[in-house]
Amino acid sequence: MCCFTELVERVSDTSIFARAVDGRQILAYEMTYAAQSELAMVLPLPVPPGSPEDALRFISLEACPDFFEQLRDGFPRLSGTDLSLGGGEARATDIGMTLDVVEVGSFEASFVPRPEDFARLDERFRLPADLWLKLNFYRDWGFAVFKLKRAAEGLRVHPMAFEFPRRDRSRLFFPTLHIHHRSVDPEALFDHDLYCQPEPAMNWHLQGWAESYAAVRRFMRCKEGLALFEPDAPVWRLEIGGLRENADTWLGRGGRIPAEMAA
């Protein structure tokens, strides 16, 4: 779920990387956006219910602004080809106090362990209260919140990255549900590149994904970026675009890609 707490004029070129490491998942996220005011991007996370405020570890990729460009270098045969299916760490604070704000590269970020804890953030960085009635599925999830600058002409920021405890060890999670106008629509336009390093049990679920030409160490040149991978294993890529069901994406047993919608 890519949620914005204020009106956003444009979001495009979204790239997401996911990898599971034992009981935790690594997630890196990048996009281009345009907005007339300061706002926050909220990413829901399927953490175990009741996770503490220090359950999430933020990872700075400020030194890797071209993290996803380097990932794309692993798929040279895909250049110009459309494969789309359809077109610093925070510490816990006492309940009732303000949530910790962490400097992560050029971002300020917070982990919100439960929806009710949004009240402990600055009002500009909360989702509208009535929106939660439509987001009941996420009632016991946690949320990574990244504060973004005004970007009237459009801005591509360095990747946001973190790791969190997994609720479901059989699947990888990609936050792809859209909330761009402070509302939840049944359909959304997708412009996403998804990347992953799956666990062996997930290999059966990679139909439609493309495998990199070599192990990731051959094309990920950034040291901080390479640390997120198993360096001697390949990476897998899936492009999804066009008008689709407005939903998150899961890879693994019971996983699903948002379905194409009729134009």
pLDDT tens across 104-141, in order?
766 788 899 988 888 888 777 777 777 777 788 888 99
The answer to whether 52 touches 113, Cβ cutoff 8 Å, is yes
The encoded tokens of residue 193 equal 């590149």
Helix (H, G, I), strand (E, B) or coil at 199: coil
The encoded tokens of residue 48 equal 């175990």
pLDDT in tens, 165-197: 999 999 999 999 988 777 788 898 899 999 999
- What's the rounded Cα separation, in Å, for the pair 176 and 154? 20
Q: Which CATH number fits domain 2-87+89-252: 1.10.530, 1.10.40, 2.60.250, 1.20.120?
A: 2.60.250
pLDDT value at position 1? 56
* Burial (CB count within 10 angstroms: exposed 0-12, middle 13-18, buried 19+), residue 42: buried
pTM of the shown model: 0.87
- What's the rounded Cα separation, in Å, for the pair 20 and 197? 8
Domain range list for the chain: 2-87+89-252
Residue whose C-alpha is closest to residue 85's, from 261, 242, 237 = 242
